[in-house]
């Protein structure tokens, strides 16, 4: 099979990671793949610029703990909201939470790397393309990845916002967690439930 198609078929969201650090040359290779994604051009100082994104790599435990302390309460509130409407999802999430090692991290999954893709809010399609490139590249290099939407809900913590140097016209895409998978499910999550594409030929 074509290696690109194979990577797309076999990539999955990983939610359990080994504590092994990821070498920086591999992280840089993954970021470079994201940086090569197609993007819509924009005018700045009379010049057409592309690549409306930047990257922040989080490896330090102290800052990771700030991220967890900021987002875990938001995750718990969200779970409480679905307790009655989606009891099975709630129960599965709570079971995972109870069995998770300390410190419990249901947002970033204690991954060695948290990669923030930060871009101009009006360039969301371009930034999403960069994120997809990153996850496919990570998979091709033997890493697991997961796009964690809860992980972007950090604007309530001024220390985090300052460290990420977030501006009013930027938003966080992802972030994407990276690391070596601890458990690799045989079948990608939800893959068996995906329906064939809806296609109209004209």
Confidence of residue 14 (pLDDT cuts 50, 70, 90): very high
| pLDDT single digits (tens) 47-106 | 777 789 999 999 999 999 999 999 999 999 999 999 989 989 899 888 888 888 787 899
CA distance 131 to 56: 13
The stretch 124-151 carries a mean pLDDT of 95
Q: Is the pLDDT of residue 43 over 90?
A: no
Q: Which fold has domain 3-193?
A: NADH Oxidase (3.40.109)
Q: What percent of the chain has pLDDT over 70?
A: 95
Identify the pLDDT of residue 49: 73
Task: Write the burial class of residue 166 (CB in 10 Å: 0-12 exposed, 13-18 middle, 19+ buried).
Answer: middle
pLDDT at residue number 162: 95
| pTM more than 0.75 | yes
Per DSSP, what are the bridge partners of residue 113? 178
Q: What is the pLDDT of residue 185?
A: 61
pLDDT in tens, 149-178: 999 999 999 999 999 999 999 999 989 999
- Residue 192: pLDDT above 70? no
The burial of 18, by beta-carbon neighbours within 10 Å (0-12 exposed, 13-18 middle, 19 or more buried), is given as middle
Mean pLDDT of all residues belonging to the chain: 90
Q: Quick check: 191 pLDDT over 70? A: no
The domain segmentation of the chain, as residue ranges, is 3-193
């Amino acid at each position: 099979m074509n290696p690109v198609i194979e990577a797309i078929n076999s990539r999955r969201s990983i939610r359990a990671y080994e504590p092994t650090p990821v070498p920086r040359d591999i992280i840089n290779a993954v970021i470079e793949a994201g940086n090569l994604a197609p993007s819509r051009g924009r005018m700045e100082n009379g010049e057409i610029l592309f690549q409306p994104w930047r990257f922040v790599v989080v490896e330090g435990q102290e800052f990771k703990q700030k991220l967890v302390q900021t987002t875990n309460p938001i995750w718990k509130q969200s779970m409480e909201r679905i307790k009655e409407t989606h009891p099975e999802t709630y129960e599965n999430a709570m079971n995972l939470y109870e069995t998770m090692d300390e410190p419990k991290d249901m947002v970033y999954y204690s991954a060695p790397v948290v990669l923030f893709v930060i871009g101009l809010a009006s360039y969301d399609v371009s930034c999403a393309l960069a994120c997809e490139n990153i996850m496919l590249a990570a998979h091709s290099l033997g890493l697991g990845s997961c796009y964690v939407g809860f992980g972007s809900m950090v604007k309530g913590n001024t220390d985090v916002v300052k460290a990420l140097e977030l501006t009013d016209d930027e938003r966080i895409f992802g972030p994407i967690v990276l690391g070596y998978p601890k458990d690799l499910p045989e079948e990608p999550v939800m893959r068996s439930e995906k329906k064939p594409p809806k296609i109209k030929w004209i």
